[in-house]
Amino acid sequence: MLVIHNPDHARHAGRHEMFRGRLVPCHEMPQRLDHVLAELQRRRFGRLTVPQSGAPDEAAFDALLARVHAPRYLRFLAGAWDEWVALDPANAALDALPSVWPVRTFRSDVEPENFAARMGLYSFDAGTPLTAGTWAAARSGACCAVLAAQAVAAGEPVALALTRPPGHHAGADFFGGYCFLNNAALAAQALRDAGHGRVAVLDVDYHHGNGTQSLFYERADVFFASLHGDPRTEYPFYLGHADERGAGAGLGCNLNLPLPRGTNYPRWRAALGQALQAIADFGAQALVVSLGVDTFEGDPISGFRLASADYLDVGRALAEAALPTVFVFEGGYAVAEVGVNTVNVLEGFAA
């Protein structure tokens, strides 16, 4: 299995996130990916590589980014840290967190000049710190996802984009949920560009992929399916309900399968089977899996009860779809177990 690793991921290392009125250490940390790398090496699994100079073509890559994300949002991300430090040199020792947002009836079409106002315009929570290396890490990670998709389009049966920060909460012009660029959406678009007429994105992270859904909600060429905690009680709260089926040309191309906190593996596995059947019915020619392993019973910020051994079966079930597949690493915050659970999915798939 081809594994494309983001060598810049540790440049994004948030100090704190806002949680229940206080700053707490970030759950999304570089050690998450390091544990996966260590487990891959321990099992001697996969062909590990990193993006090579000049690949993908930078102009083509920038054009792809701008088709998935709004250009003004990309400009903000690229320059945000420099602006933050320019406000006060002491800010270099702090992370940037948003503090104000344009809610209903407020205007979002006019980009404010004030940095805090622009940061709020492009975000939806106060738990996603922007750091000195955020843009470099996110851009390099998006590159990994696109290269994985291009490799699969060229004949590689399966590839993993092993990267952080994660991506599935990032929309066309907003970040949040630790996500800045939507790696799964970029992989799906790269597969479409390479000639796959119909692509499916399957999100198995505990938290609904609200960014991915919003990007493809009105499109008939990309099917989005998600198994996740019920948004009435679980983050990100405002999308992920079962009645969200797509709109316009995309009506019927969105499937949400919300599940209650405490869901065990048999019930979760049945929902996975339902999602895979819908993907087959859609006639997908390629599959992107947003691979979050925060469904694990020991995850500190989630609520399902999957055990490590269950992830082998998850991999086997995904392989039964018999589709060219791109895995994109997403959530999973029980740091010591993230490596085992992720590689179990990949081994199950390969077996």
Report, as residue numbers or ranges, the catalytic residues.
Answer: 169
DSSP annotation of 52 reads: P
Are 340 and 39 spatial neighbours (Cβ–Cβ below 8 Å)?
yes
- Report the C-alpha gap between 336 and 329 in whole angstroms: 16
Structure tokens, 38: 């260590």
Q: Read out DSSP for 231-265?
A: TTTSTT-SS--TT----GGGTT-EEEEEE-TT-BH
- Residues contacting 38, CB < 8 A, separation 6+: 339
- Report the C-alpha gap between 350 and 342 in whole angstroms: 13
Are 303 and 268 spatial neighbours (Cβ–Cβ below 8 Å)?
no
